[in-house]
């Protein structure tokens, strides 16, 4: 299990952005983390992946544990090595490198022999990337770049995958496609923490969901219960 407990995070030593966040991603599950802009979702992911320091943030209280072992003192490469992969917001691919080079970069910390297996897995999961393996990543469509960003994170065979807004800026059909791929990746055994503004998409595949508001978890329920919740329906799903 990936467990975040009572986490407090500050930026620049002053701005308290997470105010005691507790959440769990049990093995095998898809867990959704919802919340408005600025609620602190990306900060939760940075705290898990060891990337807070890059953004002048730090953990002032609480812990992040992976199968019981604390990982909150590890730097980003060690978190990846421990089995947590991540796709940052904005699907940052290396535009001037080819599709295959992007995937190879993702595998540079993987053990020898894993590269071939990783490429095979990603190209099977995303045939469109196999077709474009020698094309520059910058020329891919937004949806294809998102697939490449996810594929790159899969190259280290993470047990847990953190996805930051994978549907952002994509057309509805592509959102559907990414959704189906997340389900498939999960069925292959990868546990997923899915940060999304698209609550309908996220809750349609998650088993459990959390709602973050202003640095605090204000709801913590099975996804089905969140879909039924009146506030969620009104504020996150646009239904009444």
Residues at the contact surface with ligand ATP, assessed by CB under 6 A: 11-12, 15, 17, 35, 37-43, 55-57, 89
Output the smallest distance, CB 41 to ligand ATP, in A.
4
Output the smallest distance, CB 202 to ligand ATP, in A.
13
The answer to whether 83 and 160 are in contact (CB under 8 A) is: yes
Output the smallest distance, CB 101 to ligand ATP, in A.
28
* Separation in Å, CA 198 to CA 41, 64, 180: 13, 26, 14
Nearer to ligand ATP, 79 or 195 (CB): 195
Nearer to ligand ATP, 13 or 96 (CB): 13
Q: How many residues does the chain have?
A: 240
Nearer to ligand ATP, 11 or 235 (CB): 11
The answer to whether 170 and 91 are in contact (CB under 8 A) is: no
Output the smallest distance, CB 154 to ligand ATP, in A.
23
The answer to whether 207 and 11 are in contact (CB under 8 A) is: no
Nearer to ligand ATP, 133 or 216 (CB): 216
Rounded to a whole number of angstroms, the CA Rg of the chain reads 17
Measured in degrees and rounded to the nearest 5, phi and psi for residue 182 equal -65, -40
Output the smallest distance, CB 236 to ligand ATP, in A.
13
Nearer to ligand ATP, 15 or 218 (CB): 15
Taking the C-alpha atoms of residue 44 and residue 11, their distance in angstroms, rounded to an integer, is: 12
Taking the C-alpha atoms of residue 80 and residue 209, their distance in angstroms, rounded to an integer, is: 24
Closest C-alpha among 84, 93, 120, 77 to residue 193? 84
The answer to whether 215 and 38 are in contact (CB under 8 A) is: no
Nearer to ligand ATP, 144 or 196 (CB): 196
Output the smallest distance, CB 50 to ligand ATP, in A.
15
Element spanning 7, H or E: strand 2-11
Strands 15-25 and 2-11: antiparallel
């Amino acid at each position: 299990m990936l467990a975040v407990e009572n986490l407090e995070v500050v930026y620049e030593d002053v701005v308290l952005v997470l105010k005691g966040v507790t959440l769990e991603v049990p093995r095998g599950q898809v867990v959704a983390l919802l919340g408005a802009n600025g609620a602190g979702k990306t900060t939760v992911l940075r705290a898990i992946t060891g990337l807070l320091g890059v953004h002048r943030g730090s953990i002032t209280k609480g812990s992040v544990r992976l199968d019981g072992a604390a990982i909150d003192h590890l730097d980003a490469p060690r978190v990846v090595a421990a089995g947590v992969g991540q796709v940052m917001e904005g699907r940052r691919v290396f535009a001037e490198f080819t599709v295959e080079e992007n995937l190879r970069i993702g595998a540079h910390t993987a053990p020898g022999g894993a590269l071939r297996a990783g490429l095979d897995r990603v190209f099977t999961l995303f045939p469109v990337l196999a077709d474009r393996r020698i094309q520059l990543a910058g020329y891919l469509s937004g949806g294809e770049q998102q697939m490449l960003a996810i594929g790159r994170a899969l190259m280290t065979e993470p047990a847990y995958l953190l996805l930051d807004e994978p549907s952002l800026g994509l057309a509805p059909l592509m959102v559907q496609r990414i959704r189906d791929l997340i389900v498939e990746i999960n069925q292959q055994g990868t546990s997923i923490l899915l940060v999304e503004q698209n609550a309908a998409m996220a809750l349609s595949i998650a088993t459990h969901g959390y709602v973050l508001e202003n640095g605090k978890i204000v709801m913590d329920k099975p996804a089905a219960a969140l879909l039924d919740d009146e506030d969620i329906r009104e504020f996150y799903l646009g239904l009444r």
